[in-house]
Chain A
């Protein structure tokens, strides 16, 4: 296990940011800490990095207790949401920073052969890293001359330069626009397959987590809701919060389930199907979103089906339909609300 977090708690005054967090993150994996804003996931990441201290509990990195270590001794790479690049240094200097600090701390006089060797080694390493993040041609530019995506890649290269035992990314793509975001997360996945450094990243975007991560830790209100692979989380959510956070959810009788997991029939055939009336139909590209009023249920049911399917059923406003969960649908029982009857 690369990172072991045991019983970590953190409060800011009355606000409980983290409450008895226990999680172990295996070596070489790409893990996502997923949850809504203010849920404590960034705090957990910063505690792992040593940028914040936990009130209780311990953090172990690569088998060594790191609870009391300052960030510079933890051998972690940290990437910030807003890049935190060193604005007054060139791209190459930014990447070289950690290497220079580690090589000699700036103390050895420049004419010693050792210093020259260090310099050559650092220059070579920087060139390799810039190659890795596709920034070679920008080596001598200042960060202000780079785009947001390039700056974030620079921040990644800088963090990777010191060969950290874990790489921690705090909402790494949060400040980028949608297209760059998507490109960069594909790229992060490929990079991770190449470099294999244990990586933890914080995100509130479930799509990002599902797409990139090997394992997802869902955190909400300072507690872990579920830990598992993207498939496990999506198919077997531990509770309605996880279910609701990972995708759209609607309620059909006592069940919470995905709108696309509802079977629509125009005649009462299936046992236990619920009758209703189509109130709204919205077409978005290839899919059809229906809002169906169901007897005895206050809130309407949301159903998503393909455009072709909807056309085959000849659905229109006011059509009577019978709804039932698809076989094999992911569903979670929810506590009965007023007015639910099956």
Chain B
């Protein structure tokens, strides 16, 4: 123990070299590119034009841009709602119950994290597209179209952010154990009362944390949505798709403005997360 402390407290050239390296690495990879986006967002459109916050807001007020952000918000909202409900449910199932296939389920839950979002989109198209998909025929007959409309995009977003709530809640559930729940049941509480009054308050911060993370992930989802969405302006164009479309159509300023808003949203999520961490520890 004493040895490591000695090593840690010594600030030799290696320490400074490592620090410089980490700072340079972050600057090259994160800070500089993001600075460029921010700078371009507020730069004048052409020589002599107005710069700053005014034109930025103007670009955001374009109807196709507000539509795109509206759609992103809708998809993210429903994806988060679905993932919160199922995430807490699956976590309880994984931690509190023993059943055959439990470990397989536990692995499957992680799958969306490791599979490329594009593959997720493709899989959803194969399973649900009208006519040729597995359920496509039946859904089409019922008048429900998933691929190429908002439900499909919500499904894609939900799929991709599924593990985030679960991975936050499972360790907390394991840590709190079952004693308090058993005590509540011996005091006469039924299953729902135990969940509502004992379990949920104990995992509250983990759930909130997971929700914020899934929200950040959902707002930025691109690959999976790209495949299932028609992707045209006013027709399934989310904020991320809008950025790509505008950027490739030489409307870069709009792309920068939208990108800046997404950056802002993720920074906000990070701030909220760090506040929650602090709250949780106290």
Contacts and interface: CB of A to CB of B under 8 A. Distances in A.
Contacts of A137: none
Contacts of A85: 180
Interface stretch (A97-105, A222-230, A237-245, A311-319): A97-105
Interface in B193-219: 193, 197-198, 201-202
B190 A72 contact: yes
A338 interface: no
Contacts of A82: 179
B180 A86 contact: yes
B182 A102 contact: no
A74 B188 CA distance: 9
Contacts of A74: 186
A93 B15 CA distance: 52
Contact of A51 (B182, B188, B193, B202): B182
Given A72-B190, A82-B179, A101-B193, A88 B185 contact: no
B186 A87 contact: no
A84 interface: yes
Contacts of B187: 72, 77, 97-98, 101, 158-159, 161-162
A49 B193 contact: no
B199 to A, nearest CB: 11
Nearest to A50: B186
Nearest to A81: B179
A106 B186 CA distance: 17
Interface in B237-261: none
B180 A87 contact: yes
Contacts of A173: none
Contacts of A86: 180, 183-184, 198
A70 interface: yes
A162 B198 contact: no
B189 interface: yes
A71 B182 contact: yes
Interface string A56-71: 0000000000000011
B184 A105 contact: no
A80 interface: yes
Interface string A106-122: 10000000000000000
Interface residues of A, number: 29
A76 interface: yes
Interface in B146-204: 179-180, 182-190, 193, 197-198, 201-202
Given A88-B201, A88-B202, A106-B193, A101 B180 contact: no
Nearest to B189: A101
A78 interface: yes
Interface centre among A70, A71, A82 (most CB of B within 10 A): A71
Contacts of B189: 72, 97-98, 101
Nearest to A77: B186
A79 to B, nearest CB: 8
A87 to B, nearest CB: 7
Contacts of B185: 51, 70-72
A161 B184 CA distance: 12
Contact of B186 (A72, A83, A88, A102): A72
Contacts of A106: 193, 197
Given A84-B179, A105-B193, A49 B186 contact: yes
A179 B185 CA distance: 32
Nearest to A93: B197
Given A84-B179, A87-B180, A87-B202, A76 B193 contact: no
A70 B193 CA distance: 15
A98 B188 contact: yes
A88 B202 CA distance: 7
B157 to A, nearest CB: 32
Contacts of A159: 186-187
B182 A72 contact: no
A198 B183 CA distance: 18
Interface centre among B179, B182, B183 (most CB of A within 10 A): B183
B73 to A, nearest CB: 32
A71 B180 contact: no
A152 to B, nearest CB: 12
A50 B188 CA distance: 12
Contacts of B202: 87-88
A109 B202 CA distance: 25
A80 B182 CA distance: 9
Contacts of B188: 72, 98, 101-102, 162
Interface of A: 49-51, 70-72, 74, 76-78, 80, 82-88, 97-98, 101-102, 105-106, 155, 158-159, 161-162
17 contacts: A49-B186, A72-B185, A72-B188, A76-B186, A77-B186, A82-B179, A84-B183, A86-B183, A88-B202, A97-B189, A97-B197, A101-B188, A105-B190, A106-B197, A155-B183, A159-B186, A162-B188
Given A88-B202, A97-B187, A101-B189, 11 more contacts: A51-B185, A51-B186, A70-B185, A72-B186, A77-B187, A78-B186, A80-B182, A84-B179, A86-B184, A101-B193, A158-B187
Top 4 A-B pairs, shortest CB-CB distance: A98-B187, A84-B179, A78-B186, A84-B183
